[in-house]
Structure 1
Amino acid sequence: MANRSPALELDVDGVAVRLSSPDKVMFPQLGADGGTKRHLAEYYRTVAMFDAGGIMTALSQRPTHLQRFPDGIEGEEVYQKRIPAKRPDHIGTCTVTNPNGRTADALLVRHPADVVWAAQMGNVTFHPWPVRCADTDRPDELRIDLDPQPGTGFAEARAVALDLLAPLLDELGLVGYPKTSGGRGVHVYVRIEPRWDFIDVRHAAIALAREIERRDPSRVTTAWWKEERGARIFVDFNQTARDKTVASAYSVRKTPRATVSTPVTWAELAEVEPDDFTIATVPDLLARRGDPSAGIDAVAHSLDGLLEMSARDTANGLGDLPYPPQYPKMPGEPKRVQPSRDRDRTRGNQSD
């Protein structure tokens, strides 16, 4: 058995965090020179202790799930919704209710040391809920996920964000904060008043997605079923459903280069590439130009405009869209049947 490297103790804003096996390689392509557990922990310490913004803006007071790779990204993946019973005293929890009605105690991020402790646990990506622990039933964040489908990539997602989404947000009086997903997609967050439940926020997201699709159906789709999407950008409205999460800003992703989901300005979005942002490059970028999403909490917006659009769509015969398969059947939801397997639709087509 290979000898383990001795544990280290990291000072994280006055809190000692023990880091075991710091030389363990988490990202094999980067190896010992940039892809170890220590590199991961040091990255998270830097972005957690940044003065204005950084990962604490994305995670603070939010129940958070962990995407852990205890033996590196080529090993077993553990998507951890419940925080371990054995944990340091500084680690807090937040009770959330899942779609099946069961509750779970998730990590509650309150201090930069909580972020580094998660890295010690082999966590690569943080998945925060769009709520604060003070009220876990009412989101304060509208998350717009532009998801490239086969035949498209980051360039197409970026173009949809710039050409279609940004003008629509301006028309609605909403301020959006874009970031790379760390992969091929683009995420845009809007801070909202926490007075609507998950169903309302999801209906607002569907209305926004449908309006983008109307403006350019050749490039954008809201089709839940993959067989109907084609080579277009899917606006994933179900990322706003209860218990669905998105990789946080400044989260590392499971990629060979250890790419990072990174906030950018709208002007930067026009020029950047996802591979520009890694655990090696983001700390220097953050120190040099600051965090473009640092001001996201300054103004909380109303969803009234989007909910009015949703009501108009409903009046025009556009009902709800399918939920993910693990959810209970929801009121007003259409059948969760893949179109090519829908016997009623097939029979209707044959009789036309």
Structure 2
Amino acid sequence: MAKSASSNARTLERYRQKRDFAATTEPIGQVSAAGAASGALGFVVQKHAARRLHYDFRLELEGTLKSWAVPKGPSLDPTEKRMAVHVEDHPLDYASFEGVIPPKEYGAGTVIVWDRGTWMPVGDPVAGYQSGKLKFELQGEKLHGHWTLVRMRGRGDERQDPWLLIKERDAFARSAAEYDVTEALPDSVLAQGNSKSAAGGNAKTAVPKQRRSRPGQGRQVLPAAARPAPLPLALAPQLATLTSTVPRNAKQWAYEIKFDGIRLLARIDGDDVRLFTRNGHDWTSRLKSLAAEIRALGLGSAWLDGEIVILSANGTTDFQALQNAFDSSKVEDILYFVFDFPFFQGHDLRLVPLAERRALLKAVIAVPAATRVRYSEAFEGTPDDLLAAACQMGLEGLIGKRVDAPYVSARAPSWIKLKCKQRQEFVICGFTAPKGSRQGLGALLLGLHDETGKLHYAGSVGSGLDSRMLTKLLAMLTELEVPVCPLGKLPPRVVARWVKPKLVAEISFAEWTKEGRIRHPVFHALRADKAAGNVTRERPVDVEQLRPRPARSVKVSNADRVIDPTTGLTKGDLVGFYEAIAPHLLPHLRGRPVSLVRGPTGIDGELFFQKHAETIKIPGINVLDASLWAGYPPLLEIASQTAIVAAAQLNVIEFHTWNATKRAIDKPDRVIFDLDPGDGVPWRHMLDAAMLTKTMLDELGLVSFLKTSGGKGLHVVVPIAPKLQWSTVKTFSQDVVLHIAQTIPQRFVSKSGSRNRVGKVYIDYLRNGQGATTVSAFSARARPGLGVSVPVSWQELEELTAGDHWTIRTALQRVDAAGYVDPWAEYADTRKVQQIGTAIRKLAG
């Protein structure tokens, strides 16, 4: 019997819980009733360079993709039985997904469609799947013939039960010693020109293997900060931040042309050269001759970062001409301007300052023989003069880069965009009919995603569309047509045909209206290299607000040492943050025993948790009386702003405090409920969890306060008068958590351990035991991004986007903003009078 749409929605629930669709471009999945489980069905094999490279084998069945993770990939050798771990069902439209899943998201890494086609079940596929033995025939671009999936254990209730993927003996079977299909055919089948099957031989021979020998090659002196490291399979590029101002210290910045092209990263591993777009799409097959020129440089192993362009007659870059080059197969005219060098000859260069990386890059790239691979030069002059000259020449603008900054795989303030005019990407959501003599279509209706991932109307564009593009767009949009508008509220009198929001258009315009619409827009091109799900409004920022304030009261040793490689933030940045935030942080530290998390080499190195005064001497720190906690060494207290800055200077990253003060250390003065999401918990569920916890506390007659954790979760804090013993308060917190978990078991769990909390929120009540600590409000966290724990009002809950909503870059802007009101202003008065005795009796009754 075919499954219903509602049944498939439940089947995909686990898939959706694991992913934040505001962050990843993976499809959320359209829910529909399953078709008949017979005849030809679709299959896909996706090559997934996550923490470990593996292949995701997916078969269409009962309206979803039944999925297995195959660590070594499929083998054509019947004697090689490949492990296949059964994972959650995926939606059918996942079969066409290629791209980069962002860092910190589930399955982070690069995904390509390695093979696809149809499969023919042998016998009843539903019965075979349920019994654990599924036989079928594949008709793919690389995989063919008969195969079997067999479960290794005889029951089907395991969450990730192991299966085996086995090739049957037939005409398509080949010995592993003779032929490895994953090595021979590594590319995406979605790339143009890559249609060779497994029976067709080794696809690597499509690009000539040649190497140019150059004097001095291989004898380059590597910078001091280069670190030995294997060449990663995938690399997300650094992205620039749009700014409204230029940096004040011109000597710290270098400026390059903002190319009007497509971002391209080249992975070189000996003779194997692969070319990837910024979203991880493999374009090697589309740019074979360019790959050959890069191979001929003889770099050994490396990652290059740059942009492919077409130069116009006046020397500017022309994006439309670049698109036409692909359409007309004139790819030999495409140039590759390289501007960064993250890896080279077995070394990771990402922590090397930009100036040194580019000097090394220029030495190995800037050679006359590399006619299409060119070094992107920087220009001398003030940024104002350079930008004026760029605009006068008809260029898009400039990219400014800090010469002392590392390379980070994220949008970072060490790279900035200075544009000549307003121009960005929009999602095409619909189109209108043509008027008069115009052919094809009238105008494109445009949308942008907000912070929650919803699409909102941003205006329409009809200018800039020539007859060729109108014809092309009409054909593409007709295939995507849907009956329902994908946008939110529309202006009145809009009559249009709606489409799936898949296509991205680059538009220039004069300005934004107060309603969030664009004035005088002009269409420039479609952007196949940009994911529609990531298109939001670009908002320029003041470049001087992008970095924490430098410390003024203390000389910072090793201030330029990077402590967070994901953002390039330095020890000097952290110390400067703590000096500026100290007036807000100190009230949460003063009078309480404190524990310190120290990271001498940064967040990736070893972290030390220190709560006693045995091995640390920080100017201004107080050593408390040893009698406060009998049997233990003396505790510590941070009692001044000077001590905060001095601690940061000595590599302290996090400040944690007790739930009691030194004056009444045996009686806690607050109860903390730490909401910690398990794997696969969407952020929406975290917001719901916080509000449900508040509602429970409201029912008990308790006033609670909220803060972000600076990490993954949220903290709900109940201030109380210090009247009760630790054991009583801890038992009360445990009873509250147990009640919530028993009342809403589908959302909450009261047991610790990662296995227990998958898809659920764990409320940690153990924070309320004697000697336990919790990160202080306004403390940074030793995690990628250096998030900050920030107090918020309950009215602000819905505006939060993550537990690290604020970082050391942005937390100061919050407290410095005009009209800022402390959301915890009533906290101290509440603590004086609030007691939990009545609440304890309510829970017991």
- The interval holding the TM-score normalised by the smaller chain is 0.7 to 0.9
**Alignment of 1:59 onto 2:589:** yes
Deviations 1:80-138 (A, max 9, x none): 12235663552212257899x63122321211111111111111111111111112111
Contact 1:95/1:104 (8 A) holds in 2:
no
Please give the alpha-carbon distance, in whole angstroms, between the structure 2 residues aligned to 1:238 and 1:115. Answer: 27
Structure 2 Cα separation of the partners of residues 228 and 134 of structure 1 = 38
Partner in structure 2 of residue 46 of structure 1: 580
Structure 1 or 2, whichever has the larger Rg, is: 2
Structure 1 contact 207–306 (Cα < 8 Å) conserved: no
2:676 aligned with 1:147: yes
Structure 1 counterpart SS, 2:604:
coil
* One-letter code aligned to 1:75: G
- Structure 1 residues 63 and 174, CA gap change in structure 2 (3 angstroms): same
- Inter-partner Cα distance in structure 2 for 1:292 and 1:266: 9
Distance 2:602 2:751 in 1: 35
Where do 1:170-189 residues align within 5 Å?
170-189=698-717
Please identify, of 122-131 and 206-215, the stretch whose mean Cα deviation from structure 2 is larger.
206-215
Which residue matches 1:326? none
Native 8 Å contact 1:147 1:236 kept in 2: yes
Matched letter for residue 681 of structure 2 = T
CA contact (8 A) 1:203 1:310 kept: no
Amino acid of the structure 1 residue aligned with 2:598? R
Which position in structure 2 is the counterpart of 1:195? Answer: 723
In structure 2, what is the equivalent of residue 343 of structure 1? none
The residue correspondences of 1:311-326 to structure 2 (distance < 5 A) are 311-312=844-845
Confirm or deny: 8 A CA contact 2:677 2:757 kept in the other structure.
Answer: no
Bigger share in strand: 2
| AA in 1 matched with 2:835 | S
After superposition, the Cα gap between the structure-2 partners of 1:215 and 1:69, relative to the gap in structure 1 and judged at 3 Å, is same
What do residues 174-229 of structure 1 show as CA deviations (whole Å, max 9, x unaligned)? 22111111122110111111111211110110122123224322111212455444
Q: 2:838 aligns with which of 296, 301, 305?
A: 305
Choose which of 230, 234, 256 in structure 1 pairs with 2:784: 256
Q: Given the two structures, how large is their TM-score scaled by the length of structure 1?
A: 0.76
State the AA in 2 paired with 1:245. Answer: T
The equivalent of 2:826 in structure 1 is 295
Q: Superposed, which structure 2 residues align to 1:99-248 within 5 Å?
A: 102-162=631-691, 164-224=692-752, 226-248=754-776
Partner of 1:342: none
Cα distance, 1:306 vs structure 2: 3.0
Q: For residue 678 of structure 2, what is the amino acid of its counterpart?
A: Q
RMSD, matched Cα: 2.4
CA distance in 2, matches of 1:281, 1:226: 31
Aligned to 2:556: 19
Tell me which residue corresponds to 1:71.
Answer: 601
Q: What amino acid is aligned across from residue 741 of structure 2 in structure 1?
A: E
Contact (CA 8 Å) 1:57, 1:294: kept in 2 or not? no
Count of residue pairs brought into register by the alignment: 293
Q: Residue 96 and residue 184 in structure 1: after superposition, are their counterparts in 2 closer, same or farther (change >3 A)?
A: farther
Counterpart amino acid of residue 826 in structure 2 = G
Matched-pair contact (CA < 8 Å) for 1:208–1:306? no
Higher relative contact order (CA 8 A, sep 6+): 1
Letter in 1 for 2:557: S
Which residue identity lines up with residue 44 of structure 1 in the other structure? Answer: Y
More displaced stretch, 195-204 vs 288-297: 288-297
C-alpha distance in structure 2 between counterparts of 1:121 and 1:73, whole Å: 14
Partner of 1:14: none
| AA partner of residue 161 (structure 1) | A
Structure 1 stretches (4+) deviating beyond 3 angstroms? 95-99, 224-230, 309-312
Residues 305-350 of structure 1: CA deviation (Å, up to 9, x unaligned) = 33224544xxxxxxxxxxxxxxxxxxxxxxxxxxxxxxxxxxxxxx
Structure 2 unmatched ranges of 5 or more: 1-223, 226-549
Superposition TM-score, scaled by structure 2 size: 0.33
* Paired position in structure 2 for 1:347: none
Following superposition, the deviation at residue 155 of structure 1 comes to 2.8
Give the secondary structure class of the aligned counterpart of 1:193.
coil
CA distance in 2, matches of 1:225, 1:74: 23
Instruction: Report the residue type matching 1:22 in the other structure.
Output: A
Report the secondary structure of 1:41's partner residue. helix
Aligned identity (percent) is: 30
Tell me the distance in 2 between the aligned counterparts of 1:303 and 1:61. 23
- One-letter amino acid of the counterpart of residue 39, structure 1: D
Amino acid at match of 1:295: E
Unaligned residue ranges in structure 1 (runs of 5+): 3-7, 12-16, 313-352
Return closer, same or farther for 1:23/1:81 CA change in 2, 3 Å cut-off: same
